[in-house]
Amino acid sequence: MKAMRLVEWGKPLQLVELPLPEVADVDVLVKVTACGVCHSDLHLADGYYDLGEGERIRVQNRGVPLPLTLGHEVAGVIEARGPTVHGLDKGDAVLVYPWIGCGGCKACKTGNDNLCMTPRSIGVYRDGGYAEYLHVPHYKFLLPLEGLPSEDAAPLACSGVTAYSALKKTRIMSDATLVIEGVGGLGSMAIQLAETITGANVVAVDTDDAKLAYAKKLGADQTLNPLKTNLVDDVKTLTDGRGADAVIDFVGSSNTAEAAFNMLTRGGRMVSVGLFGGVLKIPIPFLPFRATEIIGNYTGSLGDLMELVSLAKRGVVKSIVSTSFRLTDANNALDTLRRGAIEGRAVLRP
């Protein structure tokens, strides 16, 4: 089978021919029909995350192996299954839950595989969907699509479930103001979910006016461009001086995190998701004075993805996919994403 693999950190992916993975027991071979191209694929390809102040964390030191087939937003059809797989047949269209863990620890046993200390995430710690076929080690990680187009479903596995999980952590109600920083794949999903599930007043923030226009189309009530205004002042004005009830920071830079912290009302919640990198410096007395909650969010649980897929089947979330590339054009897809030139999400199609 063909796969686009990361062979060397910081270098373009290479097209390679690999043997077809074999299946046994509870595992499944999925023929990939769509694979989302995610910002974290760029970090993996670069080989590091920026910790700010000149510090970096190398993905190699977090256990990411080379060579590696990237791709963690995978939808496809079942090609082959082990003898003890139940409830799924060859030809069934499925979405793959990629944030799998060891299977034996407390996190995994309570349905929080995404928080496992020895993760086996697909497309991060084991081969992913930038390939014609994907090996999935347990059928419980496959969600039947039942008519949902695979191209629309693929981004639910990362940008979708992360946005959904982050939104749940804001615990906002319909009378609240939620600020969403960054209108990329995750922000686009969060805007739709926030509008339809919570009914809150949603303020979208981005430095790109085209992305703000897109945010409006997705249902954002207000949009702000921090290059043109004072973001914190404007949020205070929009909320009669109170500040926002919650902020989700999908960028994760020093600027966006500091703005998020300072635009919150007392008792407000800041959910940090983006991995752009940097440092957040806060005078410690402000934390108790303002009773701020700072919450980190990494992807989402299998249960979250099941809920989200059911929302998508009912049409609550619309597809954010705007572009598709051939599998062999994966490097072009990554470069286009790096330039910020993709609205919503791009997918690869083998």
Task: Name the site residues for Zn ion (rule: CB under 5 A).
Answer: 38, 40, 101-102, 105, 108, 116, 158
Q: Closest approach of Cβ 59 to Zn ion, in Å?
A: 13
Nearer to Zn ion, 161 or 220 (CB): 161
Q: How far is the CB of 82 from Zn ion (least distance, A)?
A: 21
User: Which residues contact residue 287 at a Cβ distance below 8 angstroms, ignoring those fewer than 6 apart?
Assistant: 294
Query: Least distance (Å) from Zn ion to the CB of residue 40?
Result: 4
CB 209, min distance to Zn ion, A: 25
Query: Residue 118 or 237: which CB sits closer to Zn ion?
Result: 118
Rank residues 244 and 337 by Cβ distance to Zn ion and give the closer one. Answer: 337
Which residues contact residue 259 at a Cβ distance below 8 angstroms, ignoring those fewer than 6 apart? 181, 226, 231, 232
Closest CA to 94 of 25, 163, 142: 142
* Separation of alpha carbons 15 and 188, rounded Å: 31
Q: Are 54 and 173 in contact (CB under 8 A)?
A: no
Contact 42, 334 (CB under 8 A): yes
Nearer to Zn ion, 68 or 264 (CB): 68
What number of other Cβ atoms are within 10 A of residue 336's Cβ? 16
Least separation in angstroms between CB 349 and Zn ion = 18
* SS3 state of residue 135: strand
CB 159 within 8 A of CB 189: yes
| Residue 101 or 252 having the CB closest to Zn ion | 101
Find the shortest distance in angstroms from Cβ 245 to Zn ion: 27
Give the span between the Cα atoms of 300 and 322, in whole angstroms: 23
Pick from 10, 19, 52, 37: nearest CA to 254: 52
- Mode of pairing for the β-strands spanning 93-96 and 73-81: antiparallel
Closer to Zn ion by Cβ: residue 108 or 205: 108
